[in-house]
Structure formats: structure tokens, C-alpha cells
Amino acid sequence: MLKYQAPQQDMEFLLFDLFQVNREWAEAPAFADLDADLARAVLSEAGKLASAVMAPVNQEGDRVGCRWSDGVVEAPAAFKPAYRQLAEGGWLGLSGSPAHGGQGMPKLLGCLVEEMFWGANTGLYLYGTLSVGAAICIEAHGSDAQKRLYLPKLYSGEWSAAMDLTEPQAGTDLGLLRTRAAPADDGTYRISGSKIFITSGEHDLSQNIVHLVIARVEGAPKGTGGISLFIVPKFIPDENGLPGVRNGVASGAIEHKMGVGGSATNLMNYEDAVGYRVGEENAGLACMFTMMNHERLAVGLQGLGAGELAYQQAAEYAKERLQGRAPGGPQNPDAEADPLLVHPDVRRMLLTIRAYTEGGRAFAMLVGRSLDRAKHSGDPYSQALADLLTPIAKAYLSDRGFESAVLAQQVFGGHGYIKEWGMEQIVRDVRIAPIYEGANGVQALDLIGRKVLRDGGGALRRFVAEMAADEVPKEYGEPLRSAFDRLLGVTDWLVAKAPEDPNLPGAASTDYLELAGLTIYAWLWARMAAAAPDDAFGQAKRRTARFFFQKLLPKAEALTSSIRAGAGAVMDMPEQAF
């Protein structure tokens, strides 16, 4: 059975030693009541919920899956008490507005909690994360009446939410959507059309489901400039704010997927469904991006959680499984063989997972801190930095999470391919992370096009300058300076060359995002090595940092060469040759 143990020691190290949050929280009025003891208690309680309640039903939810019958969707029965504890514990409102029942905790702390929930049970937490994102969207763009009605219900988990974007002909290109919104005399709209791939679009875990639906009002401009956003509840709230009559929205089917079998992914049909506009007409995509950006960071955390879960299983297996002898001679002479952990290649795989996972945890917190600063201080640069880092967080964390899951499965050998051990489920579950909420290729295009080339690399240069100003251990000083120079050099090259070749940004984008991710991780690992205590935990941290610099960071040189090769080798092949 898959077992999950919250990595609380590492999380506390990052909070109090690396990011030194006590000082920052003390200076922020919004977090005046938050101290180290409370933060530790939050992590401890979240970890207990993750390990004792969510993780034990992970494999059962995948095995049983969801059931559809005449529009009614049943989630795995084992999920119901676990979801109830997730909701009743207030975890979905952890970072929510206190004015509407949320707890107002920092996003930086929320990232750690989300990672635990993703790692413990991805299929179950998918029913919760969309509620968090919908609440953020409504809080930012909804009317006062919408906030009063929906936010307390979403924070409490009584009601859940879904994000309804994709249509058969409109995936990444949302400008092609056909769902229609007709204005009604009472100020509402009537929504008609269909959506596909709608996570948590229909299920039986909550009283009501709040759909955030993008649609085109009659007469709206074509393309993304004609998209509006609507709240379409499964049950129309009555005058007391309780679920009333059934709305014209229903599940037409559920998808049969490669992974996350316990999560209901729906085809949703709208037949003159009552919709309540959020924000202005034709400004819906900007409103929806508030939710999408939350979900993109959340999906990165999904990859991070999967990497941690996979590492825990593989490290334990490698210590217990006896196979072969160590290259330098028997390490366990009283047994027939040595444990897998003596073999250099097994250690390479485990250290790769560990380096990416612990580095990714620090990176996710960096993004969370930027979001906190932007929200509570109004600092424009913090928002610009969060915008710059979000596509990296989504793509790099999810790609490394999948890579880590496959490496951990490899540690198990043939047992990793067998269902009982759970490793193949981790691989299947995390495979969706690089695909949904904007495929990772799209995240790379967003990074290079909107976040770097658009401002000539200005925000990136400022961030690199901040990283370069930090003091780090001497052994990492020169390789870190080289990494910064490499990233800035290739950025300047792209800024200069992109106007000459419209294919260059797309040809270089994935390599560029990976180069940026490696560079930021290197900086974080150098800082973690400097902040690590002088004990067994700290020694392991410093040794993992050395592994990252010697075995993983050198990949940046190959990525730089690939980027500078240009777009020719990608685009020269004639179409008919494919």
C-alpha cells in the first residue's frame, strides 16, 4: 500500500531558516496573529490529515473509480469521509478572505499544505483544489453579493466548484469556443452549449457545484476578446442561500482516463442554464486567468507532491530490497545480498528525485511568497515576479514530478510495474500534470513570449540581479555566477534574434524554461546549503546540494547550445515528410 509521511522537518527548515518568515509575517498586518508555533501546528494537522485520512484511500479510489448513471456521478465511497474531514477542517479556506469565512493564511504556507494533500491523494484533492481556485476568482472579480453567497460555501467545502473552459474544438485556443450566453430580462443569462474534460463537474461529495463557465454573449466579438465569465450553479440558490431548483447543467458522461481514476472528469451540457455574469461582458478571459494562474501553481504542486510520494516509497524499498553486492565488496556479509541502496545508479536515481523535490519545494514557496507580497503590500514588482515564475512553476515542477515518479518506479524494477505496490499509479496520476491547465509547451511559450520578450527581459534581469546579490558557500559561487551569465546571455540573444525569426521563440521555449528552472534551483540549493544546520539533516541537505551542482546543473550547458542552434532544424522538415 502507498504510504505518505509529511516532510515536516524540511518544510519547517524552509519556513524558518531559508525564508525566515517570522520577520516577514511580523511586518505584514494581515499576518499579525501568525507565529512559528501556529505555522507548525498548521503543518502538523495538515500532515496528519494527509497521512492518516487521505493517503489510506488513495489506491482504493483509483481501483474503484467513479460511476456515471443518467447524469448522476458517484465518487469512490472511500473518498466521502475523507473529503468531509478535508472540508470540515477548513482546509479549503486556508488562504481565503477572513471577511467571508476564510482563514487568511499566507499562500507561502498554503503551498506546503497543498503539496501534502496532492502527495497523499491526487484524485481526492482534485475535488478541493478547484474550489480554492474558484473562490480566488470570485473574490477578485465577483460582485459583493456573489462574494457573500459563494465564498463561505466554497471555503467550508459545503459547495465545490469546477472550471468549465475546454470544448471539443477549443482547447488551448479558447477563442474558438461556441458556448452561448443569451441575456435574460432579469439580468441573468441563459447558457447553452457543451464542455469537455471538466474536473469535478459532477459528483456527490458536496451539496452544490459552482461552475465557472466561459461563454460568448450574442453579438460579442470573435476570438478571446469576446469571452465572458459566468457562475452557473448546479442548483440555483434560493432566497436563503440554500440549494434550490436544479439548473440546466448536467453531466453527459465521464471520461475513462489513464490516471486519477477517483476524480470525476465530465462532459458537461448546458441547456438554457441560468448564469450570473462575473465582471464585465467580454472581459471573462482575464477574470478566468485569475483562477487559471492559481490552478497552474496548484498543478505544479501536484507534480511536487507526486515526487515526494514516489521518493518515500523508492527510498524505503531501496533500503530493504536485497539485490547483488556493492562494487567495493559486501556491505551486508551476513545476508545473501546487499540492499539496492549500495548501487551507484540506484543512488543516482534517488538523489535526482530528492534534489528536484526539495529544490521544487523551495521554489514553490518562493512563488507563494511573491503572491503574498503582491496581495498584501501592493508591490508591483512582486506581482511581476509571480507572473514571471508561474509558468515555470507549473511546467518545471510537473515535468520534474513525472520524471521523479518514473525514476522511483525504476528503482522498484519489475515490482514497480505491478499494481499492488502503487508505483504505476503514481506515474499514471502525475502524467496529467504536464498536460492540463495549459500544456507545458504553452507554459514555455508564455514564459518566453509574454514574460521575457515582451519587456526585453527586464523582469528576469532584475530577478537574476537579486539572486546574484546573495552570499552563498564558496564552492557554489563560481558555478552559480556561470549559471546566471548563461541565462542572461541566452536571454539577450533571444531578445536580439527573435524579431528576425518568428519561429525562434517557439523552437527555443521548452529548453529556455528548463534552463530557467535549473538556474533558479541552483540558487535555491546554494542558499539551502548555506542555511542548513550542523546536524544530520543539514549534512544531508548539503550533500544533496553538491549532487545537484555536480550532476544536474551541467545540463544547462546542453540546453544553452540547443537554444542557440536556432529554429532551422525544427522547421526545415517539409510537412509532407512527417
Cell 549500495 maps to which residue? 342
- Residues serving a catalytic function are 437
- Could you give the CA distance from residue 336 to residue 339 in angstroms, rounded to a whole number? 10
Identify the three-state secondary structure at position 551: helix
User: Taking the CA of residue 44 as centre, how many other CA atoms within 13 Å lie in the half-sphere pointing to its CB?
Assistant: 6
Determine contact, residues 360/525, Cβ cutoff 8 Å: no
Q: Convert 274-308 into a string of H (helix), E (strand) and C (coil).
A: EEEEECCCCCHHHHHHHHHHHHHHHHHHHHHHHHH
Tell me the CA distances in angstroms from 276 to 34, 163, 216, one per residue in order.
Answer: 36, 15, 13
Output phi, psi for 185, to 5 deg.
Answer: -65, -25
Instruction: Give the CA-trace dihedral at 283, 288, 293, 297, to 10 degrees.
Output: 180
Output phi, psi for 528, to 5 deg.
Answer: -65, -40
Determine contact, residues 412/475, Cβ cutoff 8 Å: no
**Encoded amino acid at 502, one letter:** P
- Could you give the CA distance from residue 235 to residue 230 in angstroms, rounded to a whole number? 14
**What angle separates helix 458-468 from helix 380-412, to the nearest 10 degrees?**
70
Q: Which helix (H) or strand (E) holds 101?
A: none
Those residues whose C-beta lies under 8 Å from the C-beta of residue 132, and which sit 6 or more positions away, are: 92, 95, 96, 154, 294, 298
**What angle separates helix 504-531 from helix 555-564, to the nearest 10 degrees?**
160
